[in-house]
Chains A and B, each alone.
Chain A
Amino acid sequence: MKIAFIEPEYKHEGYTCNQKFLDAYTDKKKHAGLYNNANLGLLTLAAQVPTDWEIQYIHTPIEKIDYNEQFDIVALGGMTRQANEIYRIIDKFKTQGVYTVMGGIHATVCHEEAASHAHTVIVGEGEDSFPRFLEDFSSGAPKSCYGPSNEIDLMSSPLPRYDLITGDFQNYPVQTTRGCPRNCKFCAATRIYGKSYRHKTSEQVVQEIQMINSVRRNPFILFVDDNMFIHKAFSRELLQKLIPLDIRFQALSDISIGEDQELLELMYKAGCKELFIGLESPTSHDIAYVQHNGWKANQTKHYSQLIRNIQDHGIRIYGSFILGFDNHTQDHIARIKEFVWENKILGQFSILTPFPGTEFYDEFKQKGRLREDKSWYHYNLYDCVIHHPNFSARELEDAIIEIFEFTFSDENYARVVRRQIEGVKNMEYKKKRV
């Protein structure tokens, strides 16, 4: 048997994906192209394929698909913005008689749509379902849909097949936990992964990094967990074990990490260079809209102090902000830029995008506020897919470009670098004193 796992390309079709925008956002010099990395979900499923099967991992942003190759199965997965491209690839393989499987976030939340293209759809986490599909396929009776299964035990999740990666990536994804207790209305994590917060063992994570080290010298590790340091005891244990590995990494966290000096110290020692933090907005009244329990809104008054605490530990902040809440006006653009400048941070700035599977999607769809002329290609965070009371779509898209250009300007970038230098020196000084 021969199976291909295919990571579909992110097509740039929208207005904001013009060259000006891409130059600001993807400038290798300033942010190392951190988001170009292999598909961890596919590599994890690949680990469950019987050892006597032939496996190929094709990362289409850098590798071409050979449609003449005789695969028995092609498996694809991805996010909403990749959905149309996934369907295009699947449809093409189907005409050649190849069996197609689709999983991942979009297939999970839009499984009927996915089923109109793929022979089989894997809904939810794939670790339980995919081996069952492989068995059924081998015996000649694959089902059209598998899952959703119960929340899987991450401690039994297989070691992803990093060895299948052929492209020369600088960054390698590793997942240590699944789930997020914050339950934000714009995020599908809770609906997809459930409410419980689960983690791998620290030994598993170390093994995964050792495997990455065996295929790529001096890699940069991206911990792709939605919110990595919720389980404090596990985080401490894991970070202690990462120290001897001498790695560099970025992780995603909520801002509360700034309260935990002990964990921040361990993170620095373990090689944390940057935290991606969903700050959403500098003001509390619009954040109140994104969560029912108001947790995030209550944090905004502490943002600057918590950011300083993190930066004092030599860790750079990459904030994530959303523009396009109903109360946003032109003033808000200036407020975000001011916040970026004062707090010496970089960031990702996106237009409020109601992804399918989120509470926002249901709300916007019900109110007729989703733009009908936008396909899944445009659900890329930077193209406007909503009707906004105070901005036209083009105004919001221009605002995003303006904020990106400001944030990644030489002037702001130099302030961010200086702030991180101060943090690193602070940590070195502390180390010497000890």
Chain B
Amino acid sequence: MDENTIKEKLKTYIIKEIIKDEEYPLTNDEPLISGGLIDSFSLVNIAVFIENEFKVKIPDTELTVENLDTLDAMASRTMKELS
């Protein structure tokens, strides 16, 4: 699976299930939590989605807002675990 596919899947999940606005023009570098678009509880849901969907486990030490704040960061983190 390539990074763009991961980003697309994450984007679909986030705008549908978390932001709850499928029209929302989410960009790859938009800061979701630090930018106040979603709250810190959503970090958990995003991490669960990544781990279930891509069959990876994010190391506990990497479960930080910085690592999961943008689509770019999430996809990059996921790619690291996949490889």
Given contacts A29-B33, A421-B47, contact A414 B63 (CB under 8 A): yes
CB pair B39 A417 closer than 8 Å: no
Q: Is A248 an interface residue (CB 8 A)?
A: yes
In the complex, how many angstroms separate the beta carbon of B39 from the nearest chain A beta carbon? 4
Q: What is the bound-complex CA distance between A220 and B20, given in angstroms?
A: 13
Contact of A417 with B47 in the complex, beta carbons under 8 Å: yes
CB distance from A432 to the nearest CB of B (A): 11
Q: Give the docked Cα–Cα distance between A421 and B51 (Å).
A: 10
Closest residue of chain B to A218 (Cβ to Cβ) is B20
Please give, as numbers and ranges, the residues of chain B lying within 8 Å of A316 by CB-CB distance: 41, 44
Docked complex Cα distance between A413 and B64 (Å): 8
A418 CA to B48 CA, complexed, in Å: 10
Shortest distance in angstroms between B48's beta carbon and chain A's nearest beta carbon? Answer: 5
Q: B43 in the interface, Cβ–Cβ < 8 Å?
A: yes
Q: Out of B61, B62, B65, which one reaches A30, CB within 8 Å?
A: B65
The docked-state distance in angstroms from the alpha carbon of A413 to that of B61 is 9
Contact with A along B30-66 (1 / 0, CB 8 A): 0001101001110111011001100000001111110
Q: Is the CB of A220 within 8 A of B39?
A: yes
Inter-subunit contact A421/B48 (CB<8 Å):
yes
- How many residues on the B side are at the interface (Cβ–Cβ under 8 A)? 23
Query: Secondary structure at chain A's binding surface: helix, strand, loop or mixed?
Result: helix
A383 at the binding interface (Cβ < 8 Å): no
In the complex with contacts A410-B64, A414-B64, A32-B51 CB distance below 8 A: no
Q: Find out whether the CB atom of B65 lies under 8 angstroms from the CB atom of A424.
A: no
Question: Does B26 lie at the interface of the complex (its beta carbon under 8 Å from any beta carbon of A)?
Answer: no
Q: Which residues of A contact B (CB under 8 A)?
A: 28-32, 170, 217-218, 220, 248, 273-274, 316, 410-411, 413-415, 417-418, 420-421, 424-425, 428
Q: Known: A417-B47, A425-B48. Contact between A32 and B41, CB under 8 A? A: yes
CB-CB under 8 A from B52, the residues of chain A are: 425, 428
Q: Which of A248, A273, A414, A428 interacts with B60 by CB under 8 Å?
A: A414
Q: Using known A-B contacts A273-B41, A316-B41, A425-B48, determine if residue A418 contacts B63 with beta carbons closer than 8 Å.
A: yes
Is the pair B63, A417 in contact by a Cβ cutoff of 8 Å?
yes
A425 to B51, CA, bound (A): 10
CB neighbours (8 Å) of B73 from chain A are: none
B21 part of interface (Cβ distance < 8 Å): yes
* B36 CB to nearest A CB, Å: 6
Determine how close the nearest CB of chain B comes to the CB of A348; give it in whole angstroms.
15
Residue of A32, A217, A420 near B20 (CB, 8 A) is: A217
Bound: A278/B19 CA distance, A: 31
Contact of A417 among B20, B36, B44, B69 (CB under 8 A): B44
Q: Is the CB of B40 within 8 A of A31?
A: yes
Given known contacts A414-B63, A417-B47, A418-B60, what 11 new A-B pairs fall within 8 Å (CB)?
A: A29-B34, A29-B69, A217-B20, A217-B21, A220-B39, A417-B44, A421-B51, A424-B44, A424-B48, A428-B48, A428-B52
Residues in A with CB closer than 8 Å to B40 are: 28-32
